[in-house]
């Protein structure tokens, strides 16, 4: 298939960790590469945010990034990009007139808007559009209230995108529920998670030296809703309760390591740590390259992911793939990916005492730490490799083409391919693969993501 990914603010070529560069960038890059590995031609259209960028950049075999002229070629916060989506759609329409894709996949609501605009023009003959939202405005507003900087138009336009596209891929079951309440018909929703690079995030390999016997680690953007402040409060509680053996490493933010203290989020979090008397145990490292992340994750005893809400959350998968147990807020995608008591511990959102209790439980029980770590590795391999995610995404594309009556179109270089038949074969192969893997895994590890639903309140007893 010839696939057009549209990712207006999140380029697969961006540096990660800043306010607007995180999981979506990783997702688009890795999914595109994995689809190309399955034989598809992928082009990623993203807004040119730097005048020095070439129009076309090769990402890897089979994947090209097109930097689209839409608005000034400078970095602009994503919440200020809506005015440029009209010209982004115009450019997409021009590109697709010269080089028609078989399917379009929009990432984030504004990409969906521009993609639909271009795909529904008379000359475009109703190009099929699949959409992944990555985040929903309704959820953001619920949690951030007046701090939400999304443009007010998002409230009406985002549901319109959901209802206007041919199919929506939700990254977790919680998102699928939200989409239904937005009016997206359930028959058009599939759930396909994000993945993790299990070739890079491995349990074996170098690990950084620790500064104290136990290390807690967080990774990601440092915006308030990621909850790093809660983890600092949890650290203070552990110290207050008599633990002198713990440290916290915070990776990510909008600055490289040498300028980490210039990051306003780091300044805010450092002041919080100072206020609680634990600043000497917290080290802020700034942005880290993905290639350097595994050895940092391996050095940690526990990775804490404590967002207020989370559309998916790739970091817990990266931790699990390196064999590091996760303490995760039981929200959004983390409800699916982290299995309570098997690959980590769930805690209620915005509850630093519960984080402290969960970390304490793990640090006091080396056998539990080891078994959760092993199960995390097994779970990421059985469920979250990018090749699996790409296979499931491909099936969603094929179902969309079939529903749109285009199941026999879209062969590469004009070669007709019976996509419907290919979908059935892929389904059969994947079922066989799942059965085979399940047979090889420790009991319970390969199982459903809702196993933890039986817990009484998501709280961890210590």
Binding footprint of ligand UDP on the chain (CB under 6 A): 16-17, 22-24, 26, 219-221, 251-252, 287-288, 290, 293, 312-315, 318
Nearer to ligand UDP, 169 or 423 (CB): 169
Nearer to ligand UDP, 6 or 398 (CB): 6
Nearer to ligand UDP, 131 or 360 (CB): 131
Nearest distance, CB of residue 296 and ligand UDP, angstroms: 10
Residue 51 vs residues 73, 74, 164, 330, 454: alpha-carbon distances, Å: 5, 7, 33, 42, 53
Nearer to ligand UDP, 5 or 16 (CB): 16
367-400 burial, b if ≥16 CB within 10 A, otherwise e?
eebebbbbbbbbbbbbbbbbebbbbbbbbbbbbb
Q: Are 19 and 221 in contact (CB under 8 A)?
A: yes
Q: What are 271's two structure tokens?
A: 């002041």
Q: How far apart are CA 122 and CA 133, in angstroms?
A: 25
Nearest distance, CB of residue 219 and ligand UDP, angstroms: 5
Nearest distance, CB of residue 195 and ligand UDP, angstroms: 10
Nearer to ligand UDP, 82 or 251 (CB): 251
- The CA-CA-CA angle for residues 292, 335, 129, to 5°, reads 80
Nearest distance, CB of residue 168 and ligand UDP, angstroms: 18
Nearest distance, CB of residue 225 and ligand UDP, angstroms: 9
Nearest distance, CB of residue 124 and ligand UDP, angstroms: 30
Q: How far apart are CA 216 and CA 220, in angstroms?
A: 14
Residue 152 vs residues 79, 107, 165, 244: alpha-carbon distances, Å: 10, 19, 21, 48
Q: How far apart are CA 161 and CA 168, in angstroms?
A: 10
Nearer to ligand UDP, 322 or 360 (CB): 322
Q: How far apart are CA 21 and CA 332, in angstroms?
A: 19
Phi and psi torsions of 72, nearest 5°: -60, 145
Give 434's Cβ-side CA count (13 Å radius). Answer: 14
Nearest distance, CB of residue 59 and ligand UDP, angstroms: 16
Nearer to ligand UDP, 28 or 232 (CB): 28
Q: Which of 279, 228, 281, 289 is nearest to 256 (CA)?
A: 289
Nearer to ligand UDP, 287 or 360 (CB): 287
Nearest distance, CB of residue 286 and ligand UDP, angstroms: 7
User: Which strands sit side by side in the sheet containing 41-47, from one edge to the other?
Assistant: 56-60, 63-68, 41-47, 2-6, 103-107, 129-132, 167-170, 189-191
Tell me the residue nearest to ligand UDP as measured from the CB: 22
């Amino acid at each position: 298939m010839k696939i057009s990914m549209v990712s207006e603010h999140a380029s697969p070529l961006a540096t990660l960790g800043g306010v607007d560069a995180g999981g979506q960038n990783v997702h688009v890059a890795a999914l595109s590469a994995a689809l190309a590995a399955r034989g598809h031609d992928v082009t990623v259209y993203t807004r040119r945010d730097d005048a020095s960028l070439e129009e076309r950049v090769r990402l890897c075999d089979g994947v090209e990034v097109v930097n689209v002229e839409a608005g000034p070629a400078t970095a602009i916060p994503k919440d200020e990009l809506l005015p440029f989506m009209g010209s982004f759609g115009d450019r997409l329409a021009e590109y697709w007139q010269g080089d028609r894709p078989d399917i379009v996949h929009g990432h984030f609501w504004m990409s969906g808007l521009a993609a639909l605009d271009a795909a529904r023009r008379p000359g475009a003959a109703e190009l099929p559009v699949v959409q992944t939202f990555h985040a929903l405005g309704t959820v953001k507003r619920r949690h951030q209230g007046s701090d939400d900087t999304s443009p007010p138009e998002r409230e009406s336009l985002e549901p319109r995108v959901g209802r206007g596209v041919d199919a929506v891929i939700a990254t977790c079951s919680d998102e699928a529920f939200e989409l239904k309440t937005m009016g997206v018909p359930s028959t058009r929703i599939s759930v396909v998670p994000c993945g993790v690079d299990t070739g890079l995030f491995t349990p074996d390999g170098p690990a950084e030296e620790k500064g104290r016997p136990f290390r807690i680690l967080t990774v990601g953007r440092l915006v308030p809703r990621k909850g790093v402040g809660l983890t600092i409060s949890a650290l203070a509680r552990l110290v207050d309760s008599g633990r002198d053996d713990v440290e916290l490493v915070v990776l990510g933010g909008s600055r490289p390591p040498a300028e980490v203290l210039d990051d306003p989020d780091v300044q805010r979090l450092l002041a919080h740590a100072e206020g609680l008397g634990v600043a000497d145990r917290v080290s802020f490292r700034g942005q880290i390259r993905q290639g350097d992340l595994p050895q940092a994750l391996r050095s940690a005893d526990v990775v804490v992911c404590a967002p207020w809400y989370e559309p998916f959350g790739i970091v817990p998968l990266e931790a699990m793939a390196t064999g590091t147990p996760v303490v995760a807020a039981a929200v959004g995608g983390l409800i699916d990916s982290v299995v309570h008591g098997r690959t980590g511990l769930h805690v209620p959102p915005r509850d630093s005492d519960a984080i402290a209790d969960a970390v304490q439980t793990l640090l006091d029980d080396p056998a539990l730490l080891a078994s959760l770590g092993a199960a995390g590795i097994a779970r990421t391999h059985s469920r979250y490799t990018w090749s699996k995610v790409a296979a499931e995404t491909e099936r969603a594309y094929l179902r969309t083409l079939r529903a749109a009556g285009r199941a026999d179109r879209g062969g590469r270089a004009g070669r007709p391919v019976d996509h419907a038949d290919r979908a059935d074969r892929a389904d059969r192969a994947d079922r066989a693969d799942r059965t085979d893997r399940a047979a090889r895994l420790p009991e319970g590890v390969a199982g459903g993501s809702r196993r933890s639903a039986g817990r009484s309140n998501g709280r961890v007893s210590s």
